Chains A and B, each alone.
Chain A
Amino acid sequence: MACTRRKFMKSTAQATFAGTASAGFFLSGCNKKDSSNKVKLGVSGFSADAYRKLIDELGFTDKTGIEVEVVLRPKTTNELLMQMASSIQAGTSPYDILDFEDSIAMSLSRAGWLAPLDDLISQDVWDDFTPALMKMTKDWDQYKGQTFRIHHNFELCYWWYRKDWFDSKGIAVPKTWDDVSAMGKVFTDKAAGIWASEEGLIKNCNLSVYLEWITRQAGGNPYQAGPELQAALRYIHDLMFKHDVMNPSCIQKNYDQQNNDYIADRVAFMRQWPFFYDVTRQHKKWFNEDKVVCGLPPVGPAGAASSTYACGWGWGIPKTAPRYDQACELLKFLISVENSPKLLKYSNWFLNARHSVLNAAGEDGLVKYLKMYLDAGIVTTRPFHSRRYTEAVSKIENIASAYLTNQITLADAMKSTRKKMDLL
C-alpha cells in the first residue's frame, strides 16, 4: 500500500504525540520525591557491614520507629563532591546523613550545604571530647561559629617500622630527621629494589597528606607557603636524591602500591594511616608482630609536639536531606555518650579520642598505639587552608610533585606556591 503525504503526516503527528506523552510520563516520574521513610545513611564500602550490624543490634529502629538504609557513597572524594554538588543544586540529596572525610567537610561547609548540628549535641557529648578531639573539631568541623560535622573517628598518621630488620642490624630506630637521613646507607639496596623508606605520593590527596605531615614536623602549615614548607620540600628531596632513603618512584605510587612494597619486604619504615594495621594482618603467611611495629615518628625541627597530626571522618547532614528530622534522630543516637563506645565493638572505624571510647577500648590493637601517641603529647591537628582547601591541596601537590621529580627548582616551587596560594 502506497504511503500518501496525508498518511505520512498523520503517522508522524501520532508518533510525536506518543513520544511527547511518554517523555512527560517519564519526566514526571523523575520529579517524584523519594517517598520511602527509611533514613539513608551514606557510608563507604569498607564500613558498610559494621554500620548495618550496629544499626540492627543497637536497636535504633525499635527505640525510635525510624528505619535506616545503609547506602554506599562514592569511594573517592572527587566523585562524592560531584554527586553532592549536582544533587544539592537540584534541592535534594542522595543521603539524609553522610559519613565523610576532611576534604569533603571543607568543601561542603564552605559552600553552605551542611546543616548546623549544635542543637543536636548535648553538653554531656561535648564533655566527652578530649582536648585533642576538641581542637580537631574546632579546626575541621566548625565554620562561622557553627558545628557541621561530628567526628566518629580519630585517625593519626602512624609511623610503622620493621623491628626485625632493626634488631638484626643491631641499630636503634631513627628518632630525628637526621637519623632518618642516615638510614639510606643502612637499608637501601637499589638493585634488589629495597629502600629504607617509601610513601604513596601520587597526587589526589596522597602527596598532600605526607607534605602536611612533614611540614607540621617542620613547625608550619604548607598552605601558608612559609619557610617550613621550604624545609619540608628540601628534606623530602634530599631523602630521595641525596641520602637514598626514599624511593623516588613513589611520587607516582598510591597507598596500595606503597603497602604492597612494605609487605613484599622492600621497605624498612614508613608513614601510613591506621588501616595499614588491618592490611598487614590480612597477609597471614607473611605477618608477624615484629614486622609491623608502630613507633613514635622521627622528630623534626619543630620538636616532638608536632610529630604527627590527627584527622578523621565524621557525620553530617546535608541541608537538603529529604528526611531531615529522622536524620537528626539518627545522629543524636550515634553520638550519644551511651552508644559511642558501643560502636567500637563493630569496627575500629569508630575509634576516636572521646573519653568514653578510650575508656571502653582497652589496650589492645590500634588503641594501644593511639594511647601511646596521645600520652606522648605528639599529636597536633591537620593543617588546612580555610577558604579553598581542595583547590589548595591540588595546587600544592602539582608544585611539590614537579619539584620532587626535578622539573623545577626549590626557589621556583616556593615562588609558585606563594603565588597560587595568594590567588585562592
Chain B
Amino acid sequence: MHQNKRKAILVFAILVAPVILLRLATAAYPIGQTIWLSMTDTHLFESEHAFVGLDNYRNLFADPEFRSILGFSLVFIVASTLLEIFFGLLIASLLNTKFKGRFLARTINLLPWAIPTIVAAYAFQWLLDDQFGMFSHWISQFTGMRPSVMSSALNARITLILVNVWKNASFMAIIFLAGLQGVPQELYEAARVDGAGPLTRFFKITIPMLMPLLITMGMFFLIWQLTNFDLVYGLTSGGPGTATTIVPLNIFHEGLIFFKFGYASAISVILMVFVAVLGLVGVWQFRRFDY
C-alpha cells in the first residue's frame, strides 16, 4: 500500500513536472527577474548597475506625469469596459430580435472587431483629420465649424475611448448574444402574462440571467484593456502631451526606447499588481454570486 502511494506520487510528479517547469520558465522567472530589476538602476547603455531598493517606485510616484498616466489608464479601462458592456448589450438585444437580414447584420457587426487594431488606429487618425477627415467634413457641413478633435487633451481622451469602444463592443455583443439565446423563452412568456413590459423584462430577467457573463466579460475586458498598446500608439502616440498615454505605452518608452530596464520594470510591477488586484476582485465576485 505504502509502495503504491509512493509510485502514484512519482507518476504524478513525472506528469506534472513539464507543466510546472514550463510555467516556472515562462512566468515565474520573468516575474521574479522583473521584480529584481525594478530594484536596480539597470540601463542598457551603462556597464554598471546598482541595487537601489525602492527608489524607482519612489521616483515614479513622485512624478506627476506618471500619476497622470496611471489616472488616465484607470479612466480608460473603466470607461471603455462600461461603455462596451452597455453597447454590447444593446447590439446583442437588437441582433436577438427577428428581422430580415439578421444573419447579415450579425456578420457586419463583427467587422470592427476583425479589423487589426493598428490599422483601425491609423484609419481613425485620417478620419479625424481636421482638413480631410470624414467626421470633420460631416460636422463642418452641418455646423460650418472644423473641429480639431485631437488637439485638445479632453477631446483626444474621449476619442480614444470611443474608438476603443467601437472596436470591442461588437465582440462583446456576440458573446452576449450567445448568452441571450440561452435564456429560456418561458421566463419571458410568463412575465408577459403577468403584465411585465419590455423594460421590466429586460431588467428583471435578461440582466440577472446574463449576470455571470457580464461579470466574466467585464473582468476580462478590464484586464485585457489594461494591456492595450497598439490603439494608443497608432492613434495618438500618447499625446497631446501625455494626455492619452497609458501604462503599457509608458513601459514601452522607458524600457524599449530609452532602455531604462530598472525603471521600466518598476512600472511593469505596478501594472502586474493592478492586474492581480483586478483578478482577485473577479474571483471574489464569482464566489459572491456563487456561479
Contacts and interface: CB of A to CB of B under 8 A. Distances in A.
B11 A193 contact: no
A388 B151 CA distance: 28
Interface string A46-59: 00000000000000
A401 B153 CA distance: 10
Interface residues of B, number: 36
B193 interface: no
Nearest to A423: B59
Contacts of A408: 241
Interface in A272-308: none
Given A191-B144, A248-B148, A260-B132, A202 B239 contact: yes
B237 interface: yes
Contact of A85 (B11, B44, B240): B44
Interface in A153-198: 190-191, 193
A394 B257 contact: yes
Interface in B67-122: none
B243 interface: yes
A132 B33 CA distance: 48
B236 A261 contact: no
A261 B241 contact: no
A249 B151 CA distance: 5
A16 B241 contact: no
Interface in B146-189: 146, 148-153, 156
Most buried by A among B45, B148, B151: B151
A401 B241 contact: yes
A276 B243 CA distance: 30
Interface string A356-391: 000000000000000000000000000000001011
B253 A394 contact: yes
A247 B130 contact: yes
A190 B131 contact: no
B55 interface: no
Most buried by B among A12, A85, A261, A407: A407
B259 A193 contact: no
Contacts of A202: 237, 239
B256 interface: yes
A12 B18 CA distance: 12
Contacts of A92: none
B241 A407 contact: yes
B11 A16 contact: no
B220 interface: no
A257 B129 contact: yes
Given A12-B15, A398-B241, A248 B151 contact: yes
A203 B237 contact: yes
B202 interface: no
A391 B259 CA distance: 9
Nearest to A89: B44
A39 to B, nearest CB: 27
A402 B68 CA distance: 12
Interface in A96-114: 107, 110-112
Contact of B151 (A261, A398, A405): A405
A20 B238 CA distance: 44
A401 B239 contact: yes
A397 B242 CA distance: 9
Most buried by A among B45, B146, B241, B258: B241
Contact of B242 (A110, A253, A398, A406): A398
Contacts of B150: 249, 251-252
Interface string B219-242: 000000000000000001111111
Interface in A395-424: 397-399, 401-408
Contact of B146 (A82, A193, A257, A404): A193
B131 A264 contact: yes
Given A249-B151, A266-B131, A390-B258, A190 B240 contact: no
A81 B257 contact: yes
Interface in A223-261: 247-254, 257, 260-261
A254 B150 CA distance: 12
A391 B258 contact: yes
A193 B131 contact: yes
A16 B243 contact: no
A203 B239 contact: yes
Interface of B: 11, 15, 18, 44-45, 65, 125-126, 129-132, 140, 144, 146, 148-153, 156, 236-243, 253, 256-260
